[in-house]
C-alpha cells in the first residue's frame, strides 16, 4: 500500500464539500491505489455541521480513507498537506460590490497562504475554487512566496465541462468526441471558451457546427451565464458539478495528458500569449503527471484576442483592487 497523501479542503461543511469529500475518499481523485488522509477546515460556527460530515465519511468505511482531521485551526489544518483545495469563501450578498467581496475574501486568502507556507509539505500544490478564484489564488500565492508559483491553480474546469457539453449536444455527439476546448482567462462571465480551436470527432468544431452566429449568440453566453441559470433553477449555486470539476482538474494535473489534447486551469502567467506575467489566468495546459506547461502555438484570431484581452483586463482590475493584500 502506498503512503497516504494528505489533502486539505477548506469550506468542508459547505455544499461543494459535501459532494467533493466523498469522491476524494472513494479514490476518484487520486486513483484506487492511493490512500488519503483528509484535513477538513471550517470556520468555528460550522464545526458542528462539519462533525456530521465526518460521521458520514466514517459511515462509508472507505478503504482508502486513512484518517480525518477536522479543525478551525489553520496550522493544524494545513500541517504536512500535499494538496490544499481552497473551496471555502464568503458568498456575495445583495448590495455587495465586487470590491467588497474581493476585500472580505482577500483577507481569508492572505491568512491561508501564510498558513500553507508555514505548515504544508514541501511538495504542496494549491487549488483555489472559492470565488473570485483567480484573484483569491493570486492573493494566497503572494502571501506564500516560499512556494514556487507553478504550484498554484484556480478552477475553470467547470466552465470547460459546461462548454464541452454544449458543443456535444449541438453536434449530436457524445461528450468524449469533443476535445481541446480551452477556457481562457478569469472564472467569471468574461471567461472565453475558445471554440475556434476545439475539435469534434477530430475535426474543427466550426466545420462540424457550421453556424457562426450560434457560437457567438448562444454558445458563449450559455457557458458564461450557466452558473446564474443554475442558481435560478435550483435556488442554490452549482455544487455537485463544481465538485466534479475539482476532481477532474486534480486528476488532469496528476496524470499525463493524452497526446494531442489539453485541459483548462488557471495558472500563474509566464507572459505566454502576451498575458501579463504573474496574473492567475486560465490557459490550455498539458501535464506529464508531475509538471505542467502552457500549450504554445494555439492559433489566436482577432475575435479570440479581443475576448482574451477583455478577461485579462478584468483580472488586472481585480488585482488593482487587492493591491494592498499582495
Measured in whole angstroms, the distance separating CA 114 from the mean position of its chain's CA atoms is 20
CB contact set of 2 (below 8 Å; sequence gap of 6+): 33, 34, 35
Is residue 39 part of the annotated active site? The answer reads: no
Contact residue for ligand NAX among 5, 155, 223, 294 (CB under 6 A): 155
Single out the residue of 128, 124, 149 nearest to residue 137, CA to CA. 128
> Does the annotation place 105 within a ligand binding site?
yes
> Does the annotation place 250 within a ligand binding site?
no
- Of the pair 159, 200, the CB lying nearest ligand NAX is at 159
- C-alpha span between 13 and 110 (Å, rounded): 21
Binding segment (CB under 6 A) for ligand NAX, from list 84-92, 171-179, 209-217, 256-264:
84-92
- The answer to whether 89 contacts ligand NAX (rule: CB under 6 A) is yes
> Does the annotation place 14 within a ligand binding site?
yes
CB of 325 to ligand NAX, least distance (A): 14
The answer to whether 264 touches 160, Cβ cutoff 8 Å, is yes
Binding segment (CB under 6 A) for ligand NAX, from list 57-65, 87-95, 196-204, 250-258:
87-95
Single out the residue of 35, 14, 13 nearest to residue 24, CA to CA. 35
The answer to whether 40 touches 50, Cβ cutoff 8 Å, is yes
CB of 15 to ligand NAX, least distance (A): 4
Binding segment (CB under 6 A) for ligand NAX, from list 35-43, 166-174, 195-203, 285-293:
35-43
> Does the annotation place 98 within a ligand binding site?
yes
Binding segment (CB under 6 A) for ligand NAX, from list 25-33, 125-133, 202-210, 257-265:
125-133
Angle at 17 between CA 101 and CA 82, to 5 degrees: 95
**Closest-CB residue for ligand NAX?**
14
- The answer to whether 104 contacts ligand NAX (rule: CB under 6 A) is no
The answer to whether 143 touches 234, Cβ cutoff 8 Å, is no
- The answer to whether 130 contacts ligand NAX (rule: CB under 6 A) is yes
- Residue 227, CB half-sphere, CA atoms under 13 Å: how many? 15
**Other beta carbons less than 10 A from residue 119's beta carbon:** 18
Binding letters toward ligand NAX, positions 211-250, x by CB under 6 A: --------------------------xxx--x--------
- Number of chain positions touching ligand NAX (CB under 6 A): 28
Single out the residue of 101, 173, 156 nearest to residue 132, CA to CA. 101
| Cα Rg, the chain, nearest whole Å | 19
- C-alpha span between 273 and 218 (Å, rounded): 26
Contact positions vs ligand NAX (CB under 6 A):
10-11, 13-17, 41-43, 46, 87-91, 108, 129-131, 133, 155, 158, 187, 237-239, 242
Binding residues for substrate: 92, 98, 131, 162
Amino acid at each position: 500500500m502506498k503512503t497516504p497523501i494528505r489533502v486539505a479542503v477548506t469550506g468542508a461543511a459547505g455544499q461543494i464539500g459535501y459532494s467533493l469529500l466523498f469522491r476524494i475518499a472513494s479514490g476518484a481523485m487520486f486513483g484506487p491505489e492511493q490512500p488519503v488522509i483528509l484535513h477538513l477546515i471550517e470556520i468555528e460556527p460550522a464545526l458542528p455541521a462539519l462533525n456530521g460530515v465526518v460521521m458520514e465519511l466514517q459511515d462509508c468505511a472507505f478503504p482508502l480513507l486513512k484518517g480525518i482531521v477536522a479543525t478551525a485551526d489553520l496550522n493544524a489544518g494545513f500541517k504536512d498537506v500535499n494538496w490544499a483545495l481552497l473551496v471555502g469563501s464568503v458568498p456575495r450578498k445583495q448590495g455587495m460590490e465586487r470590491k467588497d467581496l474581493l476585500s472580505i475574501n482577500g483577507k481569508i486568502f492572505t491568512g491561508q497562504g501564510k498558513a500553507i507556507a508555514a505548515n504544508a509539505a514541501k511538495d504542496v500544490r494549491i487549488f483555489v475554487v472559492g470565488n473570485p478564484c483567480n484573484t483569491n489564488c493570486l492573493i494566497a500565492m503572494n502571501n506564500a512566496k516560499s512556494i514556487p508559483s507553478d504550484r498554484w491553480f484556480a478552477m475553470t474546469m467547470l466552465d470547460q465541462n459546461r462548454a464541452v457539453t454544449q458543443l456535444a449536444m449541438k453536434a449530436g455527439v457524445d461528450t468524449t468526441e469533443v476535445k481541446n476546448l480551452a477556457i481562457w482567462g478569469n472564472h467569471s462571465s468574461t471567461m472565453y471558451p475558445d471554440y475556434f480551436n476545439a475539435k469534434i470527432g477530430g475535426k474543427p468544431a466550426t466545420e462540424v457546427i457550421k453556424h457562426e452566429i450560434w457560437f457567438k449568440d448562444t454558445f458563449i453566453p450559455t457557458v458564461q451565464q450557466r452558473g446564474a441559470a443554475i442558481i435560478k433553477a435550483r435556488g442554490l449555486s452549482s455544487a455537485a458539478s463544481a465538485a466534479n470539476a475539482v476532481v477532474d482538474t486534480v486528476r488532469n494535473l496528476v496524470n499525463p495528458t493524452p497526446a494531442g489534447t489539453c485541459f483548462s486551469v488557471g495558472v500563474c502567467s509566464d507572459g505566454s500569449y502576451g498575458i501579463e506575467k504573474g496574473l492567475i489566468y486560465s490557459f490550455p495546459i498539458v501535464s506529464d503527471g508531475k509538471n505542467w506547461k502552457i500549450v504554445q502555438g494555439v492559433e489566436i484570431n482577432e475575435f479570440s484576442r479581443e475576448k482574451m484581452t477583455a478577461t485579462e483586463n478584468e483580472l488586472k482590475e481585480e488585482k488593482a483592487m487587492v493591491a494592498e493584500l499582495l
